[in-house]
Amino acid sequence: MRLLGTASLTLAVPLALALLGLSACDDDADRAAVDRVVAAADDARGGVLHRIAQALALGDADGSRSFTVCGDALAPGGVVLNDVVRFDSAGALTEQEAASAAAGLLEDDGWQVRRPGDPRIVSATKGDLTMRLEITPAQLQVDLGSGCIETSREVAEEYDDRPRIELGRSP
C-alpha cells in the first residue's frame, strides 16, 4: 500500500509542477494577446485618428485608457480595452461633412465603416478594435476599444486593477 502512495505522490508532484509551469506560460501568452491589442490601439490613435484630426482641423486632444473585466463576475473570461479621446473642435466643416471625411479616412486605412442613422456618428471595426466617433460642434469624441480578449482570471484581474491612465494631449 505504501508503494502505491509513493508512486502516486511521485507522479503527482511532477504533474503539479508541469501545470504550474503551463499556467505561467499561458499567462504570458494572455498578456501578449492584450499587448497586441494595446499596440493596435496605439497605432490607430497615432495613425488614422491623427490623420482624421488633421483633416478636420481639430484642436487639442486629451484621452484616457482603462481596462475592464469581461465575462461572468464569478468567472472572468478576459479583459476589454477602453480608450476615450476627445478633440476640441476647431474645424470649419459641418458635422455631416466631418463625419463623411472621417469615414473616408477610416475606409482608406482598412476599417470597416458603418454609418448608423445619426449622421454625426461613425462606427468602424478593424481586427480586434472597434471605434466610434461622435462629432458635435464643440468636440469630436472617440471611443476606441476591443471586444473581450480571452485571458486567465489572474491576467484579467491584473489588467482590471490597473488605474486609468491619461493618454496625453495629442492622438
Tens digits of residue pLDDT in 80-101: 999 999 998 766 788 889 999 9
pLDDT given at position 77: 83
Whether 76 has a pLDDT exceeding 50, the answer reads yes
Is the pLDDT at 22 greater than 60, yes or no? Answer: no
Residue 60, exposed/middle/buried by CB under 10 A (0-12, 13-18, 19+)? exposed
State the pLDDT at residue 114: 94
CB atoms within 10 A of CB 72: 8
Provide the percentage of residues in the chain whose pLDDT is more than 90.
51
pLDDT tens figures, 29-42: 999 999 999 999 99
* Contact call for residues 76 and 153 (beta carbons, < 8 A): yes
- Tens digit of each residue's pLDDT (9 = 90 or more) over 122-167: 999 999 999 999 988 888 899 999 999 999 989 998 998 888 988 8
Q: How confident is the model at residue 74 (pLDDT cuts 50, 70, 90)?
A: low
Pick from 146, 164, 171: nearest CA to 49: 171
| Mean pLDDT, rounded, of the chain | 83
Choose among 108, 109, 98, 164: nearest CA to 133.
98
pLDDT of residue 83: 96
pTM over 0.85: no
Task: Please say if the pLDDT value at position 17 is more than 80.
Answer: no
- On the question of pLDDT at 121 being above 80, the answer is yes
What pLDDT is recorded for position 148?
A: 93
β-strand 121-126 against 61-72: which pairing, if any? unpaired
